[in-house]
Amino acid sequence: MDGKKTLTLKILDKINSNSKKYSLFKNGDNILLAISGGPDSIMMLDFFAKHSKKRNINLCICHINHMLRGKSSDMDEAFVKKLGQKYDIETFNKKIDVQLLAKKKKISIEHAARLARYNFLIQTAKKKNCSIIATAHHSDDNVETVLLNLIRGTNPKGLLGIPIKRVLWKSGHKKIYAIRPLMAITRGEILAYIKAHKLLSRKDKTNDDEKYTRNWIRKTLLPLIEKKQPQFRGHIIEMSVKLNKELSKEN
């Protein structure tokens, strides 16, 4: 078996096993994919596109242009439109002036972007009768979130990180869930998959700007901690899993 096939099978097995463990999706589901154009979302799109026909899964793509990076944001939007055509998946795009929204609501740009993003995702999911919205958060995102919550101050639930599945919206018996199918794999595995399959993706330069605390955690804090404790990420994930079990017992 060649290296590409071995790598692919290993990564897909992790995603499928975790999806089955947490009942993330099933045959016949309508799933809305939140696609930014970055490597994480491109890998998620490729995964679902390869599984959709044999599992009778109906897919839609959703992309939000936050209008924060000028031409670069517009190029991301155009890129995702082309992806929809390439994979033959219906695609929904929306421009949202996040800076203006942040000023109006007197909140941070990060908070405004998240608010705008999920509002549009839920609106689109309702429109297309999708009970599931899939985002491309992975295990490294989860570790960063735990540390971010610690730095800002949090209750025990904040140490659980990003939930792999949660209810985003409900009305009566109807529910829309957010799922994170890539939570079982790392950023490194995603990049290895992208490289092996020669998939094109977009780079968001704001992800390198350390004025944003999450970027500083990823680029500066975590590498410093890992010099002393190389297994730190694994320890954080293990702690979150154990804490989740303890909190579940209490409820």
Three-state SS across 53-72? Answer: CCCCCEEEEEEEECCCCCHH
Partners of 167 in beta bridges = 177
**What is residue 108's predicted lDDT score, i.e. its pLDDT?**
87
Give the integer Cα–Cα distance in Å for 18 and 13.
Answer: 8
Q: In CATH, what number is assigned to the domain containing residue 199?
A: 3.40.50.620
* Residue 116 contacts residue 66 (beta carbons within 8 Å): yes
Based on the structure, what is the number of domains in the chain?
1
Mean pLDDT, consecutive 10-residue stretches, the chain (251 aa), reads 86 94 94 97 96 92 92 94 96 94 90 93 96 97 95 88 94 95 96 95 86 91 96 93 78 58
Structural domain boundaries, residue 42: 3-250
Give the integer Cα–Cα distance in Å for 63 and 36.
Answer: 6
Tokens 């944001």 sit at which residue? 73
As a whole number of Å, the end-to-end CA separation of the chain is 47
**What is residue 250's predicted lDDT score, i.e. its pLDDT?**
64
